[in-house]
Structure 1
Amino acid sequence: MDIIKTNICVIGGGSGGLSVAAGAVQMGADTVLVEGGKMGGDCLNYGCVPSKALIAAAKKAVSLKTADAFGVSGPDPVVDYAAVMDHVADVIAGIEPHDSVERFEGLGVKVLQGYGEFVSPSQLKVGETVVEARRFVIATGSSPTAPPVPGLDQVNYLTNETLFANRIKPEHLIVIGGGPIGMEMAQAHARLGCKVTLLEAFSVLAKDDPELTTVVKEAVIASGVDIREQVKIASVKQVQDGSYEIDLEEGGTSETLKSSHLLVAAGRKPNIDRLGLEAANIKHSARGIEVDRQLKTSNRRVFAIGDVTGGYQFTHVAGYHAGIVIRNALFRLPAKVNYDALPWVTYTDPELANVGLSEKAAKEKFGDRVRVLEFDYAENDRARAERLTVGKVKAITDHKGKILGAAIVGAQAGELIQPWALAITGKLKISAMASYISPYPTLSEINKRAAGSFYTPQLFSEKTRKIVRFLSRFG
């Protein structure tokens, strides 16, 4: 059996693991990377990249249908679903070389293709090879899981891991789960000409600001999605022709829905089953691996990052974790995670973006010291020119102007949220957002106008008018 001794061993070739491996080896550390599946992980192959490529195709389709508002008309689009998925595959293929085995071996990383299992607190077995490392980083991510619906485990349903390999356009797609993935894929498929029904046991996008999620919900419904909330799925079965029958219980009545395709987007679980965590003395639960704020596990030579820790399940969080681990593992700096300025985006149309504290969380923490600043897209000239007037920005501050959070629903919300993330990271006050010069006409002016509204009560108060009248006496 071969034994490899190294400074750092990264388990998992997804976004976070690749960032650690690339950073470590380029900083001079002997690095081993272990990956049993596809390089690039979930984000490249099954998640962020393919889903956004599909959403982009859906936007192209709907843009042809709505062009008459601009005085432009033409034939309705013809959707070749297989060609759409070819576009998705092409986008993945264009990024793959950046995440490939060849690139990382070219950087100097020793890549072992296989699943790793701890056999001791300091040893990882990969096939016939044992890796002994001074530091390990577990970055194995998460996988889709299914709710406990009777019969669901007996049918062949789609998940984000299999959806993009499907080349047959769904005649009727039923989506189970009203979180970001479910809402994004439901709207995209409706725009591509599929009949779509979305089933949610509670409320869609329940973790976001309810005022803003209402805007998204109405837009998704307008796209053609039949959203059913507060619904119980009694059973699921697959009939002989491959279609599905879903029995519902809703408001004291029962109903059976039939569909050609079934997508389950109702949660994820950490990928820990194959790791042999007990042998490494690493504490874990069904939620994931337990870590402290330095991302260290109960085995102090082992770090864990990204989805496998059971926290925020975003690619950019895994990348952020990678930087924390490199500072801790390589430079012995006591870097700790801080999520005060963590942004997240749901890529429906309109988009829904958040950073920092929500209005509800801020009021629970700071009470009546909270100020809520709002500005509508409809009051922005560029939004009117583009006919993108649905949406608003909502900024949260304390009474002294400290920025606590922000949420935006509307076009390009994922881009517009970033100055707010920067402001929170840099501990800027609302005056900084209100005083910068924004080019005209841009959607970004919405942020500036929302920030400026902090001063409206003071600027246009009777006290201010008295001061102006007094000063005007002096010419």
Structure 2
Amino acid sequence: MTRHVETPDLLVIGAGAGGLSVAAGAAQLGASVVLLEARRMGGDCLNWGCVPSKALIAAARHAHCQGAGAPFGVKPVAPTVDFGAVRQHIRETIATIAPHDSQERFESMGVRVIRAAGHFVDPRHVAAGGHVFRPRRTVIATGSSPFVPPIEGLSDVPYLTNETVFDLDTCPAHLLVVGGGPIGLELAGAYRRLGARVTVIEADRALGREDPELAAVVTERMRGEGVEIVEGRTVTRVTGEGGAISATLSDGRTIAGSHILVAVGRRPNVGKLGLDAAGIEAGPAGIRVDRGLRTTNRRVFALGDVVGGPQFTHVAGYHAGIVVRRAVLGLPARVRDDHIPRVTFTDPEIAAVGLDEVAARARFGPKVDVIRVPFSDIDRAVAERETDGFLKLMVHRGRPVGVGIVGPHAGELIAPWALAISAGLRLSQIAGMIAPYPTLGDIGKRAVSAHFAPRLFENRWVRRMVRMVQRF
């Protein structure tokens, strides 16, 4: 190496959610940190993912509410959507959050930020922007990108992904969505409420990774709002040009639209890292790591989307904590995946943590108790006229092993269950919680009560004890 070699304690490649968390934690603990980022600070979540999509969904919800007031005595009106203003709302949302992830903020913490891509030149050295580094530890946090399938003709039309769909100046007349997973259905529902005609094409079952019972509530609502969902069909060919795009399906049918959005999954960003030079193994799912997030190069860790597994911002943040403990503090730490919650921000939302019913029965057999509580039993949901959906609780030997919720604010309601499963709490401990009334959160307390009710009220020994006590 002829150039000057710099030797920071920690080199972080990628300034998305996970990389930023590692850099901040390490710097505040006193380590010297260099952070590499060639694109935008904040990564996918801030710029093209979680943040803009939730801003779009919020705008769509307000549009929908204008026409849904009749049951409350409020005259419904057809919403007038200024799509330029919607786009401005998205931009303002990103701009408001961006300072938290900015280069200036991290430099104020003592992190050296270099706006360049990094790649390994050998197992110990990383080159970036004319610099060469030999860090004590390196962290790969390069995230993922939209996967674009090899569909005939797709590359010849101006297709959209989550990285480009928020740049639209006008609402699509007819949006074709290839992929019925969380991203596809979230955006499909939002654009439908903003005035687009929407067709979703899914090769298998829409929301196929979710409990079918929960997913059915969402797809039924979306179909009721006018979203066409085609399941069990693939797109075999795409033709047309901007404003007039046609998709041919595996059953021979052709659907014509104005825009096409590809949302069939994501791929890890590993192609330009020089992993072979570093002795780091990777496969289609991402970089191979152990339970401590160490790669096959003992001085290199990897986290977040780039290692495969659940691709969520909160998972990247969780991984960051593991890496800081191991790489900076030298403490033992291992990744768990049984307590990681997930949310799909459709309307109604779907949230889950732990095992679903099929997985719970496969692991524990007939000893699993499955409890369902509908939102129609919750007074606050009745008052809000948000009674679609239910909570589903899987219990084994008195402990929750999985929870699924489909309904209003499911993403908020799953949090205490994530805590319960993470901490290994028993339902008897949760039963002591007093839920404020009237709140949607009462549904969790109802589920716990439903578990204990037959054990208490249908127990002959309890009845004998009551009769004995009443003699005195």
Q: TM-score, normalised to structure 1's length?
A: 0.97
Aligned to 1:443: 440
User: What is residue 120 of structure 1 aligned with on the other side?
Assistant: 122
Rounded Cα–Cα distance in structure 2 between residues aligned with 1:265 and 1:2 = 44
Q: 1:212 aligns with which of 190, 214, 221?
A: 214
CA deviations 1:233-258 (Å, max 9, x no partner) are 2210124x6420111233xxx22111
Give the match for residue 419 of structure 1: 416
> Which 5+ residue runs of structure 1 have no aligned equivalent?
none
Moved over 6 A (4+): none
Pairs aligned (count): 469
TM-superposed deviation, 1:467: 3.0
Q: Superposed, which structure 2 residues align to 1:22-33 within 5 Å?
A: 22-33=24-35
1:403 is aligned to 400
1:202 aligned residue: 204
1:263-282 mapped onto 2 (5 Å cutoff) = 263-282=261-280
Determine the structure 1 residue equivalent to 2:10: 8
Tell me if 1:452 matches 2:465: no
Aligned match of 2:180: 178
Instruction: Read off the aligned partner of 1:403 and give its amino acid letter.
Output: P
Q: Letter of the aligned partner of 2:317 in structure 1? A: G
Question: How much identity, in percent, do the aligned residues show?
Answer: 52
The aligned counterpart of 2:193 is 191
Which position in structure 2 is the counterpart of 1:352? 350
Bigger Cα displacement from structure 2, 193-202 vs 428-437: 428-437
Q: Which amino acid aligns with 2:368?
A: V
Contact 1:58–1:192 at 8 Å: present in 2 too? yes
| Equivalent of 1:164 in 163, 166, 182 | 166
The alpha-carbon distance between structure 1 residues 462 and 354, as it changes in their structure 2 partners (threshold 3 A), is: closer
Alpha-carbon distance in structure 2 between the residues aligned to 1:256 and 1:300: 52
The match for 2:58 among 56, 59, 63 is: 56
**Cα offset for 1:433?**
2.0
State the distance in 1 between where 2:124 and 2:167 align. Answer: 39
1:471 to 466, 469, 472: 469
Partners in 1 of 2:156 and 2:307 — Cα distance?
A: 29
Structure 2 residue aligned with 1:321: 319
Give yes or no for contact 1:245–1:258 (8 Å, CA) kept in 2.
yes
Is the 2:178–2:235 contact (alpha carbons within 8 Å) kept by the matching residues of 1? no
> What is the CA distance between 1:147 and its match in structure 2?
2.2
Shift of 1:373: 1.5
2:388 to 387, 390, 395: 390
CA distance in structure 2 between the aligned counterparts of 1:374 and 1:435, rounded to whole angstroms:
20
Give the match's secondary structure for 2:7: strand
**Larger deviation, residues 144-153 vs 102-111:** 144-153
Describe the superposition over 1:256-309 as per-residue Cα deviations: whole angstroms up to 9, x where unpaired.
Answer: 111111100001110011100111110111221000000000000000000000
Instruction: Find the aligned partners of 2:459 and 2:439 in 1 and give their Cα distance.
Output: 33
Whether the 8 Å CA contact 1:435–1:448 is kept in 2: the answer is no
**RMSD of equivalent CA atoms:** 1.1
Counterpart residue number, 1:284: 282
CA spacing shift, 1:461–1:169, aligned 2, 3 Å: same
Matched, 1:429 2:426: yes
| Residue in structure 1 matched with residue 248 of structure 2 by the alignment | 247
Three-state SS of the structure 2 residue aligned to 1:300 is coil
Equivalent residue for 1:307? 305
